[in-house]
Chain A
Amino acid sequence: MCRFLAIAALGAAAALAGCGRVNQSASCREFVACVRAQDAVDGVTTDATRFEPDGDCWGGPDIAELCDRSCVHGTAQLRADHSTLACAVTP
């Protein structure tokens, strides 16, 4: 019984350890979409991996919050710099 409880605790801990990751925010989903739209105009591919769903932005709540805020301002800046930019979030 004791060994079962210990193994259960280890399993729960392992599961909880993986729960630190958070989902990509809506703001960064929109930012990445706008980056891709601008890439199509410029004929380049931007390295935006950190903001994508599997990126390092989502490794924990603190960094996720920082990335989310940066995406909000980044999207606004992209639209200010490129008035014809058409990008929207695909739900």
Chain B
Amino acid sequence: MRTEARWAVRGVIALAALAIGTATAGVARAEPGPWIVGVDGEASVIGESFGMRAEVAWRLGPAGTVSHLRAAIGVLPGPEFTFVPVSLGYRALWRADRTVQPFAGAGWENQHFVISDAPTEHRWLVLYVEGGCGFAVAPQVTLGLATSLDWSFVRHQGPGLQLRGTVSYRF
């Protein structure tokens, strides 16, 4: 297995272990505000690339509302190209004031494949679905795991599958 993949797997396992260990300690958390910012370590299973994705989500209503608007941008270098996704979508986040916080979402993404000696390939119409679970480790800090599946429509058709370890901060 490639070195980057080994490190990505180790990172995900470490996050999972920390999250589970902390969850069992029963961290109670308040819900201070509508904004969430996060950083994800991500591995792309289809199209080998590993990197980071920054995301921001905004709660569409008062405390207790599950609906969020999500935007994200990533840079995932790989041996054949660098993958740069830009996303805008919806995320439903449940139990935001509890330790275990499942979430699911869907949205639109445009994807750019930066190639060293050729023009960048663009996939402008990509739809994604995502799902995962966060674990509150501090009153405003959540660690999580997620997966997303996407499909590119129109011309450069094809699927995508990503795995992520997430760190997010709510304020």
Which A residues lie at the B interface, using CB under 8 A?
61-62
Contact = CB atoms under 8 A, between A and B. Distances in A.
Interface string B134-171: 00000000000000000000011000000000000000
A62 B156 CA distance: 8
A61 B156 CA distance: 10
Contacts of A62: 155-156
B5 to A, nearest CB: 30
Contacts of B156: 62
B interface secondary structure, majority = loop
Chain A contact surface mostly: helix
A61 B155 CA distance: 8
3 contacts: A61-B155, A62-B155, A62-B156
Nearest to A62: B155
A24 B156 CA distance: 21
A86 to B, nearest CB: 38
B9 to A, nearest CB: 34
Nearest to A61: B155
A62 B155 CA distance: 8
B50 to A, nearest CB: 28
B84 to A, nearest CB: 22
A61 to B, nearest CB: 7
A63 to B, nearest CB: 11
Interface string B108-151: 00000000000000000000000000000000000000000000
Nearest to A20: B155
B154 to A, nearest CB: 10
Contacts of A61: 155
Interface string B10-48: 000000000000000000000000000000000000000
Contacts of B155: 61-62
A64 to B, nearest CB: 12
A61 B154 CA distance: 11
The 3 closest A-B pairs by CB, nearest first: A61-B155, A62-B155, A62-B156
A69 B156 CA distance: 19
A5 B35 CA distance: 40
A31 B156 CA distance: 27
A41 B155 CA distance: 40
